[in-house]
Chains A and B, each alone.
Chain A
Amino acid sequence: MGSSNQILILFAHPALEKSRVNRPLIQAVQGLASVTVHDLYEAYPNFHIDVKFEQDLLVAHNIIVFQHPFYWYSSPAILKEWLDLVLQHGFAYGHRGTALHGKKLLSAITTGGSKQAYCREGYNYFSIQELLVPFEQTARLCGMEYLPPFVVHETHQLQEQHQIAKHADDYRTAIIGLRDNTINWELLKQFKQLNQNLAEVIKIQEAPHHA
Chain B
Amino acid sequence: MHNKDFFFQAFVYLMAAVLSVPIAKRLGLGSVLGYLIAGVIIGPFVLGFVGNEGSDDVMHFAEFGVVMMLFLIGLELQPFLLWRLRVPILGLGGLQVLVTTLLVTVLSLVFGLSWQIGLAIGMILSLSSTAIVLQTLNEKGLMKTEGGQSSFSVLLFQDIAVIPMFALLPLLAMKNGTTASLVANGVIFVAAEQQKASVPGWQQALLVMVTVGGIIVAGRFLMRPVFRFIAATRLQEIFTATALLLVIAIALAMQQVGLSPALGTFVAGVVLADNEYRHELETNIEPFKGLLLGLFFISVGASINFDLLIQQPLLILGLVIGLAIIKFAVLFGLGWLFKLEASQNLLFAFALAQGGEFAFVLFSFATKNNVLTTSVGGILVAVVALSMVLTPLIMLINEKFVQSRFVTTTVEREADTIHDNENPVIIAGFGRFGQIVGRLLIANGFKATVLDHNPTQIDMLRRFGFKVYYGDASRIDLLHTAGARQAKLFVLAIDDREKTIETVDRVRKHFPHLKILARAIDRNHAYELIRRGVEVVERETFGSALDMGVEALKLLGLRSYRAHRAGNTFKNHDEEALRELADIEGDHTLWVARSRQLAKQLEQLLRSDDEDLTHEVDRAWDISDLQKNS
Does the CB pair B626–A48 fall under 8 Å? no
Known contacts A46-B568, A89-B620; is-contact A51 B612 (Cβ 8 Å): yes
Does the CB pair B565–A93 fall under 8 Å? no
Shortest Cβ gap from B621 to chain A (Å): 10
Does the CB pair A48–B565 fall under 8 Å? yes
Does the CB pair A89–B619 fall under 8 Å? yes
Does the CB pair A89–B625 fall under 8 Å? yes
In angstroms, Cα B626 to Cα A84, docked, is: 17
Shortest Cβ gap from A52 to chain B (Å): 10
Query: Which residues of B have CB within 8 Å of A89?
Result: 615-616, 619-620, 622, 625
Q: Report if A95 contacts B (CB, 8 A).
A: yes
Query: Which residues of A have CB within 8 Å of B572?
Result: 48, 50
15 contacts between A and B (CB under 8 A): A46-B568, A48-B568, A50-B572, A51-B612, A84-B620, A85-B613, A88-B612, A88-B616, A89-B615, A89-B619, A89-B620, A89-B622, A94-B619, A94-B626, A94-B629
Question: In the complex, which residues 495-531 of chain B have their Cβ closer than 8 Å to any Cβ of chain A?
Answer: none
From the candidates B569, B615, B626, name the one contacting A93 in the complex (CB within 8 A).
B626
Query: Which residues of A have CB within 8 Å of B622?
Result: 89
Most B CB within 10 A of own CB, among A84, A89, A93, A141: A89
Query: Which residues of B have CB within 8 Å of A51?
Result: 609, 612
Does the CB pair B568–A95 fall under 8 Å? no
Shortest Cβ gap from B559 to chain A (Å): 15
Query: Which residues of A have CB within 8 Å of B613?
Result: 85
Q: Map CB proximity to A onto B433-475 as digits: 1 under 8 Å, 0 otherwise.
A: 0000000000000000000000000000000000000000000
Query: Which residues of B have CB within 8 Å of A48?
Result: 565, 568-569, 572
Q: Map CB proximity to B onto A52-93 as digits: 1 under 8 Å, 0 otherwise.
A: 000000000000000000000000000000001100110001
Shortest Cβ gap from B602 to chain A (Å): 15
Does the CB pair A93–B616 fall under 8 Å? no
Chain B residue nearest to A91 (CB atoms) is B616
Q: Report if B2 contacts A (CB, 8 A).
A: no
In angstroms, Cα B627 to Cα A95, docked, is: 9
Question: In the complex, which residues 546-581 of chain B have their Cβ closer than 8 Å to any Cβ of chain A?
Answer: 565, 568-569, 572
Shortest Cβ gap from B121 to chain A (Å): 63
Query: Which residues of B have CB within 8 Å of A46?
Result: 568
Chain A residue nearest to B569 (CB atoms) is A48
Q: Report if B400 contacts A (CB, 8 A).
A: no
Known A85-B613, A95-B629; 17 more pairs at CB < 8 Å:
A48-B565, A48-B568, A48-B572, A50-B572, A51-B609, A88-B612, A89-B615, A89-B616, A89-B619, A89-B622, A89-B625, A93-B626, A93-B629, A94-B619, A94-B625, A94-B629, A95-B628
Shortest Cβ gap from A123 to chain B (Å): 32
Query: Which residues of A have CB within 8 Å of B615?
Result: 89
Question: In the complex, which residues 113-168 of chain A have their Cβ closer than 8 Å to any Cβ of chain B?
Answer: 141
Q: Map CB proximity to A onto B586-630 as digits: 1 under 8 Å, 0 otherwise.
A: 000000000000000000000001001101100110100110110
Chain B residue nearest to A94 (CB atoms) is B625
8 closest A-B pairs by CB: A48-B568, A95-B629, A89-B619, A88-B616, A94-B625, A95-B628, A89-B616, A94-B629
In angstroms, Cα B626 to Cα A78, docked, is: 26
In angstroms, Cα B197 to Cα A204, docked, is: 104
Query: Which residues of B have CB within 8 Å of A95?
Result: 625, 628-629
Query: Which residues of B have CB within 8 Å of A85?
Result: 613, 616
Shortest Cβ gap from A34 to chain B (Å): 29
Query: Which residues of A have CB within 8 Å of B628?
Result: 95
Shortest Cβ gap from A196 to chain B (Å): 33
Query: Which residues of A have CB within 8 Å of B609?
Result: 51
In angstroms, Cα B613 to Cα A89, docked, is: 11
Shortest Cβ gap from B553 to chain A (Å): 15
Shortest Cβ gap from B609 to chain A (Å): 8
Shortest Cβ gap from B619 to chain A (Å): 5
In angstroms, Cα B609 to Cα A4, docked, is: 35
Q: Map CB proximity to A onto B84-109 as digits: 1 under 8 Å, 0 otherwise.
A: 00000000000000000000000000
In angstroms, Cα B630 to Cα A141, docked, is: 10
Query: Which residues of A have CB within 8 Å of B569?
Result: 48
Query: Which residues of A have CB within 8 Å of B629?
Result: 93-95
In angstroms, Cα B616 to Cα A84, docked, is: 9
